[in-house]
Amino acid sequence: MDSSTSKPRLREQVRVVMRLHHYSIRTEKSYWYWIRYFIRFHQLRHPLEMGAVEVNAFLSWLAVERKVAAATQNLALNALVFLYARVLQQPLGQVGEVVRAKRSTRIPTVLTHAEATEILALLRQPYQLLASLMYGAGLRVVEAARLRMKDLDFDRQVITIHDGKGGKDRTTLLPATLISSLLERKQRIFNAWKSHEPFYQAPVSLPFALRRKYPNAPRSFEWQWLFPSTSLCPDEDGQIVRHHIHVSSIQKAVKQALHRSCVHKPASCHTFRHTFATELLRRGSDIRTVQTLLGHADVRTTQIYTHVLGQGFAGVQSPLG
């Protein structure tokens, strides 16, 4: 089989099926990455020529040779299960005994409140506001970057996260201390949008299913990005649109602020989310509430933050006092 012609056909098949089932663009790119990796691992054989045995070999190789994390191995498995079941219409069935990647038991790095505010003070806008949302609302960096005007409810002090990790929606806290800054930013963008400034003439990017359902949304104010990119780019269908601020620029800004600070911890954007959860628990919040705010499907994921706190070790004291 000619791989040069089969791969584009397969890529298009995956794309069509994923759009049909309303998968996010991030998931589509991630799944295709692992499907392509699987094909290359088996010397460009077409997936129809392979099956459960080859999938088993690939997943075991990821764990043994590449030493990937358990979550990464599961993502690769999900991509291949989707490929065979939904795209090729040949479900894999039992893959067999796969060498499983070990789950990490490391306790996440967290900041103290003083350390978090020190780093925030060293950031310029809009990165300070973005990082403040990660710390104050427990947002992932991509969730903060993808906020739209309609996602902020100032009256109820609630932020709605659409299509978060796992494709789920959730609501979380809108910090009272950020309301004035967010309102000012919203008003500034509204004035520019209302005045038809060139910067806002291009439509904003929307997932394919939403563009079809709401054809006027890309040019409406409610769907404008809270943190838009400064440049235009083509979307997956080739239309020139404005996307949200790039995640890598936020990560770079936080990294630089961390280096200028007096904080000597291996922190990142995600550390703000860890710190949000730890601070809520330290201040007496119920773990189920924290689970909901973080969007964790399983409370056991949230419980890792109780290990960070140490839970007082049931009152046990060191021999040194």
Question: Considering 165, 242, 282, 300, which one is annotated as catalytic?
Answer: 165
Residue pair 38/56 in contact by the 8 Å Cβ criterion: no
Q: Write out the chain's pLDDT in tens, 321 residues.
A: 444 444 458 998 998 898 888 787 788 899 999 999 999 999 999 999 999 899 999 999 998 889 888 889 999 999 999 999 999 998 887 766 666 666 666 788 899 999 999 999 999 999 999 999 999 999 999 999 999 999 999 999 999 998 767 668 899 999 999 999 999 999 999 999 999 888 888 889 887 667 777 788 888 999 999 999 988 888 766 778 889 999 999 999 999 999 999 999 999 999 999 999 999 998 988 889 999 999 888 888 888 888 777 655 555 555 665
Beta bridge partners of 206: none
Cα 175–Cα 143–Cα 123 angle in degrees, nearest 5: 65
Query: Identity (one letter) of the amino acid at 83?
Result: L
Residue 270 is among the residues annotated as catalytic for this protein: yes
Q: Do domains 3-87 and 113-309 have the same CATH topology?
A: no
- The question of whether 246 is a catalytic residue gets the answer no
Question: What is the C-alpha separation between 321 and 172, in angstroms, rounded?
Answer: 40
Judging by DSSP bridges, how do beta strands 228-234 and 170-173 pair with one another? Answer: unpaired
φ/ψ (deg, to 5) at 43? 55, 45
State the pLDDT at residue 6: 43
Cα 309 to Cα 116, 139, 284, 295, 304: the distances in Å are: 17, 21, 12, 20, 9
Q: Where are the domains of the chain?
A: 3-87, 113-309
Residue 265 falls in the annotated catalytic set? no
Q: Looking at the domain that runs over 3-87, which CATH code has it been given?
A: 1.10.150.130
SS3 of 85-152: the string is: HHHCCCCCCCCCCCCCCCCCCCCCCCCCHHHHHHHHHCCCCCHHHHHHHHHHHCCCHHHHHCCEHHHE
pLDDT score, position 311: 54
Number of DSSP helices (H) and strands (E) in the chain, helices first: 14, 5
Residue 193, both tokens? 């949008």
Could you give the CA distance from residue 303 to residue 47 in angstroms, rounded to a whole number?
Answer: 40
Distance between CA 251 and CA 268 in Å, rounded?
7
DSSP 8-state assignment for residue 124: P
User: In a 10 Å sphere around its CB, with 0-12 CB exposed, 13-18 middle and 19+ buried, how is residue 16 labelled?
Assistant: exposed
Cα–Cα dist 152/158, whole Å: 6
Specify the pairing of strand 152-153 against strand 158-161.
antiparallel
**The pLDDT value given to residue 297:** 84
Catalytic annotation, pick one of 140, 185, 242, 244: 140
Active site residue 300: no
Is 165 a catalytic site residue?
yes
Q: What is the spatial distance between Cα 76 and Cα 71, in angstroms, rounded to a whole number? A: 9
- The pLDDT assigned to 319 comes to 63
Say how far apart CA 321 and CA 313 lie, in whole Å. 14
**Spatial contact of 193 and 221, defined as CB atoms under 8 Å apart:** yes
Residue range 75-125, pLDDT digits in tens: 999 999 999 999 999 888 776 666 666 666 678 889 999 999 999 999 999
Burial class of residue 193, CB neighbours in 10 A (0-12, 13-18, 19+): middle
Domain 113-309 fold is hpI Integrase; Chain A (1.10.443)
Residue count (the chain): 321
Indicate if 273 belongs to the active site. yes
293, amino acid identity: L
